[in-house]
Amino acid sequence: MNTAAAFRNLYGYEAAGIWSAPGRVNLIGEHTDYNQGFVFPLAIDRRARIAAAPRQDGLLRLATTAPGDPAEIRVTDLAPGRLTGWSRYLAGVHWAFGLRGVHVPGMDILLDSDVPVGAGLSSSAAVECAAALAVRELSGSEVPDLVLLCQQAENEFAGAPTGILDQSASLLAEAGHALFLDCRSRESRLVPLDLAEEAMALLVIDTKVSHAHDSGGYAERRGDCERAAEALGVASLRDLTLPDLVLAAPQLDRRAYQRARHVVSENARVLTAVAHLEAGRPIRGLGQVLASSHESLRDDFEVSCPELDLAVETAMAAGAAGARMTGGGFGGSAVALVSRPEAERIGAAVVRAFERSGYAAPEVFAVEPGPGARRDA
Ligand code: GLA
């Protein structure tokens, strides 16, 4: 059943519209966004769809086609902590519009998403960005910066201290392109990424190890980076080059040095990757920077896990041009850049390796750079 029909079935009338936004994979540039650095993600061809209609009585009713209880709350009662679970990503957007002085009406909303949850593919940003388009239109408001609005919903309402990578990718990406974003200036540009033309494919390997950015390691890494920047007297790690860091090494303990080295080297790798593609060189040539990024995330930033490492090692051994964990880490997904005719064989090799190691079966699928957030109907 499509989203419009599911809304009609549930609420007994037609939705005012359907809005959708994609999940993302980050090609390269991990844990750099909150250090004001560079990222290079693409939207994937998996999307969160929102069917919505305004209500006159100030009630917000939220439902999902996925397993999950519906939620109901008055718009005037919205506050962080009032809702838990999946519905806080939707309600948080309503709340963030309210903070900006927008009079937001009550609404009936149905979420229908095929972005895998907990897989490090930004299922929550996809929900927020689709909801932001719906709420902006249905409240007749003109809030210009939906990236920051959605990030605020995620940080303050849903309680996950993330950067702007995911929401920027979901809102600004375009089909057939990756998005180069400077997280300090917020300048961005689209870089063509035509995988099919070069007979390449991007495989997502969802390890099924669930990550959660509102607990533990992610916030700890942010803290490590802030302390390292402070110790070195810079506003953020973005302001350092590798030679700067080597010279400043005596001022940092081992762990802070490693965290900083990841961020500084990762920023350089993003610039290398962007320059490579913009010079019209083969996509396959990105393999080495992807592989180095993974090593740095594993050894210096320490956000990988055995399943992600196995996915990357097996894909590389089976002939991938490059592979790395993508997203925040501690589980979630890896991406592998492979030649199209070999995609199936490499995916199967990873599945077999997981089986031999006694890990839960991963899900392997190819993604294409898809369109960003938009109104569908
Ligand atoms: C998660 C966060 C992003 C970013 C990545 C790591 O996906 O939501 O803001 O920090 O981790 O690059």
| Model pLDDT for residues 264-276, shown as the tens digit of each residue | 999 999 999 999 9
Q: How do residues 219-262 score in pLDDT, each as one tens digit?
A: 999 999 999 999 999 999 999 999 999 999 999 999 999 999 99
Q: How do residues 161-180 score in pLDDT, each as one tens digit?
A: 999 999 999 999 999 999 99
Question: Please, which residues bridge with residue 363 across strands?
Answer: 206
184 has a pLDDT exceeding 70:
yes
Concerning whether 166 is annotated as a catalytic residue, the answer is: yes
Whole-number Å distance, alpha carbon 22 to ligand 1 midpoint, is: 15
pLDDT band at 215 (very low <50, low <70, confident <90, very high): low
Does domain 3-189 sit in CATH 3.20.20.210?
no
298 Cβ neighbours under 8 A, 6+ residues apart = 304, 308, 309, 325
Supply the pLDDT for residue 80.
97
Distances in Å between the Cα of 77 and the Cα atoms of 2, 83, 85, 278, 295 are: 31, 11, 17, 49, 46
Ligand 1 within 6 A of CB of 128: no
Q: How do residues 79-113 score in pLDDT, each as one tens digit?
A: 999 999 999 999 999 999 999 999 999 999 999 99
Instruction: Report the C-alpha gap between 214 and 11 in whole angstroms.
Output: 32
Backbone angles phi, psi at 170, to 5 degrees: -65, -35
Q: Which of 24, 27, 31, 210 is the best mutation target for the ligand 1 pocket, counting ligand atoms within 8 Å of the beta carbon and taking the most? A: 31
Ligand 1 within 6 A of CB of 327: yes
328 has a pLDDT exceeding 60:
yes
Ligand 1 within 6 A of CB of 41: no
pLDDT band at 374 (very low <50, low <70, confident <90, very high): very high
Supply the pLDDT for residue 211.
72
Q: Which residue has the CA at smallest separation from atom 2 of ligand 1?
A: 162
Question: Please, which residues bridge with residue 53 across strands?
Answer: 108
Q: Which atom of ligand 1 is nearest to the CA of 125?
A: 8
Q: Which atom of ligand 1 is nearest to the CA of 164?
A: 9
Over the range 47-83, which residues count as b (16 or more CB within 10 Å of their CB) and which as e?
A: bbbbbbbbeeeeebbbbbbeeeeebebebeebeeeeb
Q: Which atom of ligand 1 is nearest to the CA of 30?
A: 12
R_g over Cα of the chain: 21
Q: How do residues 6-18 score in pLDDT, each as one tens digit?
A: 999 999 999 999 9
Pair 53, 16: CB distance under 8 Å: yes
Instruction: Report the C-alpha gap between 351 and 360 in whole angstroms.
Output: 9
Among residues 108, 166, 206, 300, the one annotated as catalytic is: 166
Instruction: Report the C-alpha gap between 340 and 333 in whole angstroms.
Output: 19
Supply the pLDDT for residue 212.
65
Q: Which atom of ligand 1 is nearest to the CA of 163?
A: 9
Ligand 1 within 6 A of CB of 34: yes
Where in the chain are the domains? 3-189, 195-367
Ligand 1 within 6 A of CB of 328: yes
Q: Which of 25, 32, 33 is the best mutation target for the ligand 1 pocket, counting ligand atoms within 8 Å of the beta carbon and taking the most? A: 33
* Alpha-carbon dihedral sign for residues 256, 258, 261, 263: negative
Pair 117, 123: CB distance under 8 Å: yes
Q: Which atom of ligand 1 is nearest to the CA of 33?
A: 10
**Total-model pTM:** 0.97
Whole-number Å distance, alpha carbon 55 to ligand 1 midpoint, is: 35
Per-residue pLDDT, averaged over 263-290, amounts to 98
Ligand 1 within 6 A of CB of 23: no
Indicate the class that CATH gives domain 195-367. Answer: alpha beta
Amino acid (1-letter code) at residue 192: P
Supply the pLDDT for residue 216.
83
71 has a pLDDT exceeding 70:
yes
